[in-house]
Structure 1
């Protein structure tokens, strides 16, 4: 089996509000938006927004309201870029969970929760390379 992730789907409470956050707030551009779902092409991977209840039904797993222990990361090239992404997210309705700071592994990172509570890390890791196409090399 190939070692990869193809799609991350976020279950959202209000698809229109989630689209506004990602598109108006963060400047993302949808690739496709068939009825009830929206897809964003990211470097080497795709992300979808799908109604939380619809996703629970599709997965046959109830939404229990607890933090799942999963975060999504957006790596940046500089500390200033990390700060800018966190500020943009907060200005668009995200909740800052941890302001950016230098961390034990030698990088710089902070966390925000999007309007549906999905936890995102924004990080700069000096040991990783962000390629010109946006992909990350570890």
Structure 2
């Protein structure tokens, strides 16, 4: 099981979440404004939006897990960029689309350039760049063993 094909995030308002992710550059063939489920076609994986209440029931219909509102779940998503300008431009798109910048892009302790935002449902995303990074022909980050 050495792969991650799909990341599903539960959303409270499908049409609002769909518009947000489209506005920041995610692509989907979906044409409806409020579909029951959305899959974004990414390079190497897919991002899925699914109503949070349905996701809770899918995990356990008899005893759905409770939501932890306003707490950090310990999970972040990351988009590794090819330039600092890409980080800045994407963060501007996030703000324009209604996302909350929680850490403006800056030079960070590990030598790269990074910032964080929260999407409309409170999920944390990192946008990051490093001079040392290389990408393969599918735009996947190459991580070599040191």
Q: TM-score, normalised by structure 1?
A: 0.91
User: Which deviates the most, 11-20 or 119-128?
Assistant: 119-128
Q: Does 1:101 align with 2:106?
A: yes
Match of 1:64 in 2: 68
Match of 1:19 in 2: 18
The CA distance in 1 between the partners of 2:59 and 2:31, in whole Å, is 20
Match of 1:88 in 2: 93
Number of residue pairs matched by the alignment: 136
Q: Which runs of 5+ in 1 are unaligned?
A: none
Q: Does 1:3 align with 2:2?
A: yes
Match of 2:125 in 1: 120
Q: Does 1:54 align with 2:54?
A: yes
Runs of 4+ in 1 over 6 A off after TM superposition: none
Who wins on radius of gyration, i.e. which is larger?
2
Alpha carbons 2:27, 2:42 under 8 Å: kept: no
Q: TM-score, normalised by structure 2?
A: 0.86
Alpha carbons 1:76, 1:130 under 8 Å: kept: no
- Superposed displacement of residue 135, structure 1: 1.2
- 1:18-70 Cα offsets, whole Å, 9 max, x none, are 001111x1132214589511001111111100001111111222222222110
- 1:79-113 Cα offsets, whole Å, 9 max, x none, are 11111110111111000000001011110000000
The CA distance in 1 between the partners of 2:94 and 2:45, in whole Å, is 21
- Superposed displacement of residue 125, structure 1: 2.3
CA RMSD of aligned residues (A): 1.7
Which of 64, 77, 97 aligns to 2:82? It is 77
The CA distance in 1 between the partners of 2:111 and 2:37, in whole Å, is 38
- Superposed displacement of residue 131, structure 1: 2.8
Q: Which runs of 5+ in 2 are unaligned?
A: none
